[in-house]
């Protein structure tokens, strides 16, 4: 497990365990044990698209939820990133020593899904291997459980349940979109009502959900809140 502090961390040197249909079975115990042993879990998704940007940023939070919910039932998840952090010590100079294990699961939705060319261009520009999703992606289906569909093991749905049952704090960045996509793709059809969705989240993640974008905007008062800026600013 990689050990680091909040300062002087070279992110390029942090090991990333890349998982696909060829090796998920061999690495399954490593992944699940990391979820059990960590202090908190950070999650990140890459999707095949998000829909119209103006709809995702609607001033009405209820309308924004409906629009993201619609996107989550139309587009799919290509990448499921999981980082498990274990706090080792708090140092006198405000450093936090942690151990980290990070995993990136290449996925392929078995249901029909839409693709946004702009999102694909973004992924390719950031060196995401799109071909891997279609050749070795870990299959999953969206929405409610289909007990009759047992042609392949539902690793993403199992993972979602394990993350929930681990009862560890969950950390995301701009997390509303990721949470709705995870719910719709790995758990069940997302509720039509925002308040029902929020109530479900409080039950699923009982140790709390922490959004670094929200924290940086409303507590840090940073001018920009994209991840690369926050990393170097801190």
- What pTM was estimated for this model as a whole? 0.88
Name the CATH code of domain 2-233 (choices 3.30.420.10, 3.20.20.120, 3.40.50.1820, 3.40.50.1370): 3.30.420.10
Task: Say if CB 163 and CB 170 are below 8 A apart.
Answer: yes
pLDDT band at 177, cuts 50/70/90? very high
Pairwise pLDDT comparison (52 vs 160), residue with the higher score: 160
- What's the rounded Cα separation, in Å, for the pair 43 and 143? 20
* Dihedral sign from CA coordinates of 56, 217, 202, 144: positive
pLDDT per position as a tens digit, 113-132:
999 999 999 999 989 999 99
Using alpha carbons, select from 27, 17, 13, 161 the residue that is nearest to residue 82.
Answer: 17
With a cut of 90, say whether residue 57 has pLDDT above it.
no
Average pLDDT, the chain: 88
Q: What are the extents of the domains in the chain?
A: 2-233
Rg for the chain, CA atoms, rounded: 18
pLDDT per position as a tens digit, 6-40:
455 555 567 899 999 999 999 999 999 999 999 99
Phi-psi region of 8 (alpha: psi -120 to 50; beta: other; left: phi over 0): left
With a cut of 50, say whether residue 62 has pLDDT above it.
yes
CA angle 138, 41, 190 (to 5 degrees): 60
Give the H/E segment covering residue 144.
none
Question: Averaged over 48-77, what is the pLDDT?
Answer: 92
Helix, strand, or coil here: 35? Answer: helix
């Amino acid at each position: 497990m990689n050990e680091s502090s909040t300062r002087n961390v070279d992110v390029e040197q942090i090991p990333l365990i890349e998982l696909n249909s060829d090796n998920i079975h061999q690495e399954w115990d490593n992944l699940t044990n990391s979820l059990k042993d960590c202090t908190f879990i950070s999650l990140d998704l890459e999707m095949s698209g998000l829909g119209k940007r103006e709809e995702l940023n609607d001033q009405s939070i209820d309308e924004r939820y409906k629009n993201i919910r619609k996107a989550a039932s139309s587009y799919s998840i290509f990448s499921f990133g999981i980082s498990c952090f274990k706090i080792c010590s708090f140092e006198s100079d405000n450093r936090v020593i942690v151990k980290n294990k990070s995993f990136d699961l290449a996925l392929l939705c078995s249901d029909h899904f839409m693709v946004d060319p702009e999102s694909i261009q973004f992924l390719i520009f950031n060196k995401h291997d799109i071909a891997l999703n279609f050749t070795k992606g870990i299959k999953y289906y969206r929405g409610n459980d289909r007990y009759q569909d047992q042609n392949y093991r539902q690793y993403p749905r199992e993972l979602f349940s394990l993350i929930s049952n681990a009862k560890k704090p969950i950390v995301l960045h701009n997390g509303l979109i990721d949470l709705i996509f995870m719910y719709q793709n790995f758990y069940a059809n997302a509720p039509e009502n925002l308040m029902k969705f929020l109530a479900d989240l409080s039950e699923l993640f009982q140790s709390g959900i922490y959004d670094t974008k929200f924290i940086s905007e409303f507590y840090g008062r940073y001018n920009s809140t994209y991840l690369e800026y926050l990393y170097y600013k801190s």
